[in-house]
Amino acid sequence: MSTVEKPSYKVIGTRPIRHDGVDKVTGRAKYGADIRLTGMLWAAMLRSPHAHAKITRLDTSKAKALPGVRAVVTSKDFPDQGDRLVELGEGSVNMKHLAANVLAHDKVLYHGHAIAAVAADSIHIAQQAVELIEIEYEVLPPVQDALSAMKPESPVLNTDVRTKGYVAGGPGSADQPTNVASRIYFEQGDIKKGFADAAVVVEREFHTATVHQGYIEPHNATVLWNADGKVTVWMSTQGTFTARQQTAELLRIPVSDVKVVPMEIGGGFGGKISVYLPPVAAMLSKLSGRPVQLVMDRAAVLLATGPTPGSYIRVKVGTDKSGRIIAADAYLAYEAGAYPGSPIGPGCMCIFSCYDIPNARVEGYDVCVNKPRTNAYRAPGSTNAAFAMETVLDEIAKQLKLDPAEIRLLNAAKEGTRRVDGPKYSRIGMAETVEAIRDSAHYQSPLPGPNRGRGIATGFWFNVGLKSSVTATLNLDGKVSLLEGSTDIGGTRTSIAMQFAETLGIPCEDVHPSVVDTDSIGYTDVTGGSRTTFSTGIAAVNAANDIKQQLIERAAIHWQTTPDKVQYIDGGVTCSDGQRLTFKELAAELHELGGPVIGQGTSGKEAQGGAFGTHCVDVEVDPETGKVQILRYTAAQDCGTAIHPSYVEGQIQGGAVQGIGWALNEEFWYDPKGLLRNATFLDYRMPTCYDVPMIDAIIVEVPDPSHPYGVRGVGEVPICPPPAAIANAIANAVGVQMTTLPMSPPKIMAELLKQKK
Amino acid sequence: MRDFDYVAPTSLQQAVELLAKPAGQARPLAGGTDLIDHVRNGRLSPDVLVDIKKIPELNLLEAGPNGLRLGAAVNCATIAAHQAVQAQYTALVDSCQIIGGVQIQSRASVGGNMCNSGPAADSTPSVIALGGRCVITGAQGTREVAAEDFCTGPGKNVLKPGELLVELRFPAPAPHTGSHYRRFIPRNEMDIAVVGIGVSVTLDDTLKIITAARIALGAVGPTPILATAAAQALIGQPATDETYQKAVPLAREVATPINDMRGTKDYRIHLVGVLLVRSLQAAVARAKGECPNYKPGH
Amino acid sequence: MAKKRIVSTTINGDAVEFLCEPRQTLLEILRDVLEMTGTKEGCGNGNCGSCTVLMNGKPVTSCLVLGVEAEGVELRTIEGVARGSELDEVQQAFLEGAALQCGICTPGFIMQTEALLACNPTPTEEEIRFHLAGNLCRCTGYDKIVRAVQCAAERRAGACHK
């Protein structure tokens, strides 16, 4: 549905076949683990069997002596990082922590923490050599959740962590080692007065489990450290340039000595930004003089990468009699994992972001625990927060006998609303997504039958802009080679090519996009933050406009006139005297008109306006087992302008199903010793297609004024609403209000049994 | 993966000779869906894998008036597609259609599922409920063991070094018999049973009174459990929910589950009752010649 | 180390021989020995379906098959699905239906769909979902995959009617 009169586009809004599609349905596409180099060695890693321990002895001599072993590395083989912070594209990173996460120094901080690596003639020899590494530990007590880790008597993971933003008397410490890495605090209005004036106040506590991105392709890196000192990395990554910089910084070599070649990437969702393997494979390559391939197995992926934090959240919301929110208060503690850096900041900014709330306060803590260091996962921090806020709001709606869509519309943030963390919204489509759900056939339909319930919830994500580069070469046959630095996880080659084609008025099929290595394109930030179609799209539009300008000049030469007499219109150039050449005709003449035409475009100044989604779900709860079946699912999202609607729908559908998994069954299951017991896809239960229905996606289009075609990022928002929507549906089905994630059958059953008593 | 050798004998005698090694060093390989994973993750480290899929006796699948003979290496897909099994040994079909995904079912065998002896094995409760007997061959000759006596603990069974499970034999079901296996899992597919129950029920000619019953519980003890008292409580009783409820406490009584990541003790004991009633309802529907309301995972 | 042996098999209609250690899985043989990397490894223990190939027409997770077990069998992999340079109906339906995002699970889904349609040319939505439950996709939410399978089935049915 479109909310404003849409300009008539020729390419945008159509559904062309993606350019990399044939390779991906024939098995020809080369992913990170598919590369085979002459003389390549295979590598395997030693990982910690303990959650928290000092390494007291580490001897790799027997491993090195095994025939077929070519190199063994530990953290001792890497340059010291000292105490330095480095800007890595999405914020500054403590290099000591990053290095220690790649290979543990004197301490292991989580089950599966990497310790050493071996390169050998075969993967089997490498694995056998890993078993020959002699290691002894002094096992330390682990701490596994934020609230426990905040207590002064808790075991402390990192001796160098102090509480950023510490306030006297609060959790953490300004001068002693602590697990509390930072404190976030936002406030606006007069919260005391707000609650005093409120007619209804609901306060609830929430716990959510650690969950993983669950991409199907394990992390990988294939590296050649050449004799000239140049390092080439073939890998699947969300960002070649950040991978290059992280690798260079960890090896302490100049960034231009590292070239990252992007292979196809088998999913990321935020989890393939941080570097785990390239520096290790690089060092193995340097020591062996051979290219080295290092690929994680599934257990390593689940033990030692990702995840997104488990959390504790307390939310208190007060409204007047009409349901208007007049005060809101939140306290959030997110597990950072082994090293600081949970998405507590975004969590705090997102928790009240959907609503216009005059008096609000948010306090949040980033807390180290003995779990893998958390990484971004699709709207990082926002889903946890939405689960809390959106279920509390539903409880208030029930008390006031308000329709859940109406209470959201009543309080919806809109252009000019100030978020608790400060910024004012530009034109946004929050209310439009709620209206889309309210008016949908799904929401309007009856839901008969016992133990069935319907729930809705809204979610928000900022979306980022950041920097991208695009180069376009015009070929004599009138087609264009488009080079870009954004790795393509879900069809962005095509969504970018479409914007380029639209700008030039040529068919999308005439644009041939390639994702190229870091030596072949200008700096480009990660495919993340729902930025690629937005920001690399802008770069492509700029490159197309650059070509337009050049073609106007060439046409002027052709017509022996001046450029001001020539206009680029509708896929061709027109002279003021009425003569016209199509794009193709002009391209064929280029060599006679001055030579090659190469267009360039970059982006970096534009900031996205934020995006919202509202989801509606029908569930049936088995009253005897507590198991939830998803009967029907509809997701509405403001996408600004949908460039390729199929892939926009795909993002919404995929995000919704990840959210369903988070809601119902996904969780890291640690035993009392802090060991992860479900590091397989059998017991880390992501939804299968037999667990979900079709996901109806409603594309709402409120164009973002900061993009030439009004694009808003799509990827992240759709994971935010599902847990809350499902919790609300469960409450409506069987009358129990769930406050923990996942809402797995035993937990729901326990609540149902309590209810019966 | 650790190094091992591989042999594929074509006769039972060769296989028995190859397997006659100290415990654990030689392992029979049927579908390999558990074994290969266990070798890869180091839980098992055999010197040699003896592929038993080329031995005729282990590939037998015959149903007749004297019952069903099921070779230990026959894969789940083949079993589930067999018409006589579908008609008369339906619980086996229920099991074979939910062990792993379809790809696993192309390889995994009921015999292998039994020999792996996992407490939550999905086919063993069906084999027990259907009155299966295990035919075991070794250097000392051939012996038979009732299916309920086959497993002795998690990953443990009565097979001695050098012995091989050759075949499962099932009696032909009496008229008006229906059977069913169902499990509870958090997802709808691709999960290990939190609780699994196999039942077989025979009705009298009026299709109202239960004349025989067997109940086997999975994932609620170190081995699958034959719940004799619960089954006994059904006999001579009308096939009604009220009757089934009487069996529930007796079934719960023999369940000794543990707390683990797949479920708590209390939840599992609770589920025994829920699943018992549902599986009896379905088995009775089948005994009456009706199609039960059953959708895997739901 | 256990001796390597020569395994003779048929892959996508071609007779193939390879040298194999007993501990090498069929997946490893396909990817690392025969350099047929279209078959993907997602989990290594049969839980994600990315490595699905057809063995004598039956779908198997090749990570749970030993290379030596391929002796004398007929294998079909993603590389053998297209008819020369022409995509088959399943590939075409996935491509046109946007039934992939990152694409890593796609070869496995296509092979599993081939197996389904070979034994059940007109599956219901529920049968499709049940049959594909052993294949994980983390990007699409399965909606477009299920629709692509429906579309491929319809196209094949249409082709038969001609």
Residue C51's domain is classified under what CATH number? 3.10.20.30
Q: Could you say which of C102, C129, C142 has the minimum Cβ distance to residue A267?
A: C102
Task: Report the CATH number at residue A750.
Answer: 3.30.365.10
If asked whether residues B264 and B216 sit together in one domain, one would say yes
Of B140, B170, B200, the residue at which a domain comes to its end is: B170
Instruction: Tell me the one-letter amino acid at A635.
Output: A
pLDDT for C162 equals 43
Residues with Cβ within 8 Å of residue A625, at least 6 apart in sequence:
A745, A749, B184, B271, B274
Residue A357 pLDDT class (50, 70, 90 cuts): very high
Is 90 exceeded by the pLDDT of residue C2?
no
Of C59, C80, C101, the residue at which a domain comes to its end is: C80
Residue C159 pLDDT class (50, 70, 90 cuts): confident
Which two tokens mark B131?
Answer: 């009155």
Least Cα separation, residue C48 to chain B (angstroms) = 9
B297 belongs to a structural domain: no
Q: Could you say which of A18, A264, A298 has the minimum Cβ distance to residue C42?
A: A298
Task: Name the closest residue on chain A to residue B265, using Cα atoms.
Answer: A746
| Higher-scoring residue by pLDDT: A1, B234 | B234
Of C51, C80, C109, the residue at which a domain comes to its end is: C80
If asked whether residues A634 and A738 sit together in one domain, one would say yes
Q: Are B50 and B15 in contact (CB under 8 A)?
A: yes
Is 70 exceeded by the pLDDT of residue A90?
no
Secondary structure (DSSP) of C25-37:
BHHHIIIIIS--T
Residue A528 pLDDT class (50, 70, 90 cuts): very high
A449 belongs to a structural domain: yes
If asked whether residues A545 and A679 sit together in one domain, one would say no
Q: B-chain residues within 8 Å CB-CB of A669? A: 261
Q: B-chain residues within 8 Å CB-CB of A124? A: 1-3
Contact C141 A215 (CB under 8 A): no
Q: Which among A2, A92, A105 has a CA at the least distance from the CA of A55?
A: A105
Of A254, A271, A289, the residue at which a domain comes to its end is: A289
Of A289, A316, A343, the residue at which a domain comes to its end is: A289
Contact B188 C133 (CB under 8 A): yes
Kindly state the percentage of chain A with pLDDT values over 70: 99
Separation CA A644–CA A264 (nearest Å): 20
Contact C64 B6 (CB under 8 A): no
If asked whether residues C10 and C64 sit together in one domain, one would say yes
Of C62, C80, C98, the residue at which a domain comes to its end is: C80
Lowest mean pLDDT among A2-6, A664-668, B118-122: A2-6
If asked whether residues B159 and B227 sit together in one domain, one would say no
Q: Could you say which of B263, B271, B297 has the minimum Cβ distance to residue A690?
A: B297
Q: C-chain residues within 8 Å CB-CB of A36? A: 32, 35, 37
Q: Considering its fold, how many domains does chain C have in total? A: 2
pLDDT for B22 equals 74
Contact A690 B1 (CB under 8 A): no
Task: Report the CATH number at residue B81.
Answer: 3.30.465.10
If asked whether residues A563 and A643 sit together in one domain, one would say no
Return the SS3 of B3: coil
B293 belongs to a structural domain: no
Separation CA A744–CA A729 (nearest Å): 14
If asked whether residues A725 and A696 sit together in one domain, one would say yes
Separation CA C129–CA A657 (nearest Å): 14
Least Cα separation, residue B298 to chain A (angstroms) = 8
If asked whether residues A742 and A671 sit together in one domain, one would say yes
The pLDDT mean for chain A works out to 97
If asked whether residues A563 and A612 sit together in one domain, one would say no
B296 belongs to a structural domain: no
If asked whether residues B160 and B202 sit together in one domain, one would say no
Q: Considering its fold, how many domains does chain A have in total? A: 3
Q: Are A489 and A215 in contact (CB under 8 A)?
A: no
If asked whether residues B185 and B274 sit together in one domain, one would say yes
Contact A692 C102 (CB under 8 A): no
A165 belongs to a structural domain: no
* A202-222 residue pLDDT tens: 999 999 999 999 999 999 999
Phi, psi of A169 (to 5 degrees): 90, -15
If asked whether residues B265 and B235 sit together in one domain, one would say yes
If asked whether residues B162 and B182 sit together in one domain, one would say no
* C99-134 residue pLDDT tens: 999 999 999 999 999 999 999 999 999 999 999 999
If asked whether residues B181 and B282 sit together in one domain, one would say yes
A9 belongs to a structural domain: no
Separation CA C147–CA A737 (nearest Å): 35
* A100-140 residue pLDDT tens: 999 999 999 999 999 999 999 999 999 999 999 999 999 99
Residue B24 pLDDT class (50, 70, 90 cuts): low
B99 belongs to a structural domain: yes
* B267-288 residue pLDDT tens: 999 999 999 999 999 999 999 9
Separation CA A677–CA A679 (nearest Å): 6
Instruction: Tell me the one-letter amino acid at A279.
Output: P
Any A CB within 8 A of C101 CB: yes
Which residues does B contribute to its contact with C (CB < 8 Å)?
A: 1-6, 8, 29, 31-33, 36-37, 39-41, 49, 51, 77, 100-104, 106-107, 188-190, 295-296
B144 belongs to a structural domain: yes
The residue range of the domain holding B16 is 5-37+44-51
Looking up tokens 């900041």 gives: A345
If asked whether residues B125 and B207 sit together in one domain, one would say no
Any A CB within 8 A of C6 CB: no
Contact C112 B40 (CB under 8 A): no
The residue range of the domain holding A449 is 419-463+608-756
Q: Which residues are A221's β-sheet partners?
A: A235, A294
Q: Are C144 and A660 in contact (CB under 8 A)?
A: no
The residue range of the domain holding C137 is 89-161
Contact B186 A749 (CB under 8 A): no
Contact A629 B190 (CB under 8 A): no
Q: What is the mean pLDDT of residues A262-273?
A: 97
A713 belongs to a structural domain: yes
If asked whether residues C16 and C75 sit together in one domain, one would say yes
A203 belongs to a structural domain: no
Is 50 exceeded by the pLDDT of residue A360?
yes
If asked whether residues A41 and A121 sit together in one domain, one would say yes
If asked whether residues B269 and B194 sit together in one domain, one would say yes
If asked whether residues B94 and B162 sit together in one domain, one would say yes
If asked whether residues C76 and C113 sit together in one domain, one would say no
Q: What is the total residue count of chain C?
A: 162
* A687-729 residue pLDDT tens: 999 999 999 999 999 999 999 999 999 999 999 999 999 999 9
Residues with Cβ within 8 Å of residue A301, at least 6 apart in sequence:
A212, A218, A219
Looking up tokens 């062996």 gives: A288
Q: Considering its fold, how many domains does chain B have in total? A: 3
Which two tokens mark A137?
Answer: 């530990």
Q: Are A613 and A637 in contact (CB under 8 A)?
A: yes
Q: Could you say which of B37, B39, B77 has the minimum Cβ distance to residue C46?
A: B37
Contact B264 A746 (CB under 8 A): yes
Least Cα separation, residue C52 to chain B (angstroms) = 7
Q: What is the mean pLDDT of residues A20-49?
A: 98
Task: Report the CATH number at residue A133.
Answer: 3.90.1170.50
Is the predicted ipTM greater than 0.90, yes or no?
yes
Kindly state the percentage of chain B with pLDDT values over 70: 99
Q: What is the mean pLDDT of residues A524-547?
A: 97
Q: Are A659 and A616 in contact (CB under 8 A)?
A: no
Looking up tokens 């088998």 gives: A266
pLDDT for B23 equals 66
If asked whether residues C112 and C75 sit together in one domain, one would say no
Residues with Cβ within 8 Å of residue A623, at least 6 apart in sequence:
A451, A734, A752
pLDDT for A6 equals 73
Q: Go through A442-464 and write b for each residue having 16 or more CB atoms within 10 A of its CB, e for each that does not.
A: bbeeebeeebbbbbbbbbbbbbb
Any A CB within 8 A of B43 CB: no
Work out the widest C-alpha separation in chain A, in whole angstroms.
91
Q: Are B292 and B180 in contact (CB under 8 A)?
A: yes
If asked whether residues C62 and C43 sit together in one domain, one would say yes
B86 belongs to a structural domain: yes
* C73-87 residue pLDDT tens: 999 999 999 999 999
Residue C160 pLDDT class (50, 70, 90 cuts): low
Considering Cα of A229, then A232, then A233, then A238, what sign does the dihedral take?
A: positive
If asked whether residues B206 and B252 sit together in one domain, one would say yes
If asked whether residues C24 and C57 sit together in one domain, one would say yes
* A292-344 residue pLDDT tens: 999 999 999 999 999 999 999 999 999 999 999 999 999 999 999 999 999 99
If asked whether residues C73 and C96 sit together in one domain, one would say no
If asked whether residues A654 and A678 sit together in one domain, one would say yes
If asked whether residues A598 and A740 sit together in one domain, one would say no
Task: Report the CATH number at residue C144.
Answer: 1.10.150.120
Q: What is the mean pLDDT of residues A273-302?
A: 98
Of A559, A579, A603, the residue at which a domain comes to its end is: A603
Q: What is the mean pLDDT of residues A683-690?
A: 98
* B162-191 residue pLDDT tens: 899 999 999 999 999 999 999 999 999 999
Contact C139 A124 (CB under 8 A): no
The pLDDT mean for chain B works out to 96
A150 belongs to a structural domain: no
